[in-house]
Amino acid sequence: MTARKERLQIRKNTFDRVRRAVVKVGSGVLTSDQSLNTRVIRRLAREVSTLMEQGIQVILVSSGAIASGVKKMGMIERPADVPHKQAVAAIGQSGLMLEYERSFARYQKKVAQILLTRDDLCNRRRYLNARNTIHVLLDWKIVPIINENDTVVVEELKFGDNDNLAAMITHLMDAQILINLTDIDGFYDKDPMDHKDALLIPLVSKIDRGMEKAARDIPGAFGMGGMSSKIKTAKKITTSGIPMIIASGLKSNILKSLFEGRDAGTLFLPRKEKMGSRKCWIAFTLKAKGTIKVDKGAAKAIRKGGRSLLPIGIVGVKGDFGVGAAVRCIDEDEVPFASGLVNYKASDIRKLMGLRTNQIEKRLGYKHYGEVIHRDNLVVMPDDKEGAVCQ
Ligand code: GLU
């Protein structure tokens, strides 16, 4: 088989398996010079409706609130300070939804707005609530349209950008693919705006440092993340065993072409083993509140044997966190290799470092668990010498 034929086969197999997709649409796709790009929104509504009629569930993650608000207010750029940005998002979000509502109505489809903060998804109960609600909407064949709740969110509770939000929604909903629609055709080896010889890479089986570096040089237009945040997202998504595609949302019939297995955009292939949804939540949704450094023996037992983290293997603790917090485990070379939920607070773990399990009670005056992190709450990242561990 030729390389192209083989690639098309991989694409076809990937899309044939998809019953539920998250489609993220960037601000650069949704807005034109003066306002929201209604033509693009109508086209997206048509394409998503067609997929739904073929039995594919679609969850939209839509940016565009700030961009649309900025344009509605006649500003030439985003406000720099937080209250103004939040006010502009509030102005833009309603217009954005109105446009979706109208466009989907043409195809007899209803939409629902869901605004989330990272805090909502870090809280396990609220996380499950959001999941249940979206399940009901999908059962009712309504299109969930999700954005960050920009108006209330403060910096430390932000998803970062909507690429990251889309990754979390893909995990939340166990979708089989994340389709990231942006204003360029896919991932190029250099910025195509500056380099005529820039090459589009159609298929990526492993994201290496060179790609991460190339991505840093390709900025976003109106949105926030640019290519760099898309590559970080691709890394998280593929690590959890799900494929992701970056393609142009400005191309007509793009979703149709992708689902027909045609060569468009850049497809990032997933790691073979799929991570369970709870482990994805621990590894990719929760923000690490600290780090625990472990010795060689413990790192090996966790990495290769899937074991729990015991006090005896711990050589350092950074941060001030409580029971149940998410932390990152680093090895003696400071390389992060796992994330997990702790059974003891940071100050107690400092007291327990290097001790045997049967010494815990004597040292603390109590013992709730023998492990500092139980293996059920510990997620090992695949060995990754090339690139940084994603989080
Ligand atoms: N939530 C922002 C908006 O709707 C977009 C953030 C992003 O594009 O990353 O304007």
Q: 6-15, pLDDT tens digit by residue?
A: 999 999 999 9
User: What distances in angstroms separate CA 92 from CA 77, 200, 225, one per listed residue?
Assistant: 14, 33, 19
Q: What is the position in ligand 1's atom list of the atom closest to the CA of 62?
A: 4
Predicted local confidence at residue 224, as pLDDT = 61
Which percentage of the chain shows pLDDT scores above 90? 74
Residue nearest to atom 2 of ligand 1 (CA): 63
Residue of 60, 63, 159, 168 with the most ligand 1 atoms within 8 Å of its CB, for mutation: 63
Task: Kindly list the protein residues whose Cβ atom lies closer than 6 A to any atom of ligand 1.
Answer: 26-27, 63-67, 89, 147-148, 150, 161-162, 223-225
What is the distance in A from the centroid of ligand 1 to the CA of 145? Answer: 13
Q: For a pLDDT cut of 70, what percent of the chain falls above it?
A: 95
Mean pLDDT to the nearest integer, 308-316: 97
pLDDT in tens, 265-289: 999 999 888 888 899 999 999 999 9
Handedness of CA 228, 319, 155, 146 (dihedral sign): positive
Pinpoint the alpha helices (H) of the chain: 3-16, 27-30, 38-53, 65-72, 82-105, 118-122, 124-139, 162-172, 209-216, 226-239, 254-259, 277-280, 296-305, 346-352, 360-364
- pLDDT at residue 386 in the model: 41
Instruction: State pTM to two decimals.
Output: 0.90
Atom from ligand 1 closest to the CA of residue 89: 10
- The pLDDT assigned to 388 comes to 38
Is the pLDDT assigned to residue 235 strictly greater than 60? yes
Centre of ligand 1 from the C-alpha of residue 86, in Å: 11
| Helix count and strand count (H, E) for the chain | 15, 13
Stated length of the chain: 391
Mean pLDDT of the chain: 91
Give the domains, in start order, of the chain with CATH numbers: 3-279 (3.40.1160.10), 288-380 (2.30.130.10)
- Residue found by looking up tokens 């939209």 in the block: 60
Residue 383's CB is within 10 A of a number of other CB atoms, namely 11
Cα(225) to ligand 1 centroid in Å equals 9
